[in-house]
Amino acid sequence: MRLILLATVLMVGTTGCGGASQQQLPTKVTGSVYDMMTHYLEPAADGIWGSAGFVITEDGEVDLQPTTDEGWFLVEHAAVVVAEGGNLLMLDGYAADQADWTEYAKGLTAAALKARAAAEQQDADALFAAGGEIYSVCRACHNRYMNQPGG
């Protein structure tokens, strides 16, 4: 049994070298891109944006940055969700293509990892900058792919 297993692993390993990008992974997306956006990505991104920068209220300017370790951890959590979201967007079933879409998805992960680092360091300025970068990636991908027939 163990030998058969090893042989299988070796075979998979060898085929993997030839056409790694065409490999079929046993993944199945849980809904549409729209569901992914509204149920997964947007709430997590809000967790970052809602903790970065300032808002003007009736009482004046309010600093949104977390004031406790727990607060910063929630931002870190949100950033990890968004970062992993970039990987998820490349799954069969979400990915519109393997070109620009992939670039945007990777860009999302890269920007979210900056937000994670900022939250780890409790650096409000860096978090604000990373939040802006995340927003530009969302916008860029939407400009390219939203309201497209079939996309």
- Using CB under 6 A, list all residues that contact ligand HEC: 32-34, 37-38, 41-42, 45, 82, 89, 101, 104-105, 108, 134, 137-138, 141-142, 145-146, 151
Cα–Cα distance list, 67 to 30, 70, 99, 138 (Å): 35, 8, 41, 27
Q: Output 42 or 84, the one with its CB closest to ligand HEC.
A: 42
Distance in Å, CB of 82 to ligand HEC, minimum? 6
Q: Output 102 or 122, the one with its CB closest to ligand HEC.
A: 102
Distance in Å, CB of 43 to ligand HEC, minimum? 9
Q: Output 30 or 38, the one with its CB closest to ligand HEC.
A: 38
Distance in angstroms (rounded) separating the CA atoms of residues 103 and 143: 14
Distance in Å, CB of 57 to ligand HEC, minimum? 23
Distance in Å, CB of 148 to ligand HEC, minimum? 7
Q: Output 108 or 127, the one with its CB closest to ligand HEC.
A: 108
Q: What own/partner pairs with CB < 8 Å and gap ≥ 24 does 69-75 have? A: 72/119, 72/120, 72/122, 73/119, 74/47, 75/47, 75/48, 75/51, 75/115, 75/119, 75/127
- C-alpha closest to that of 96 among 45, 147, 41: 147
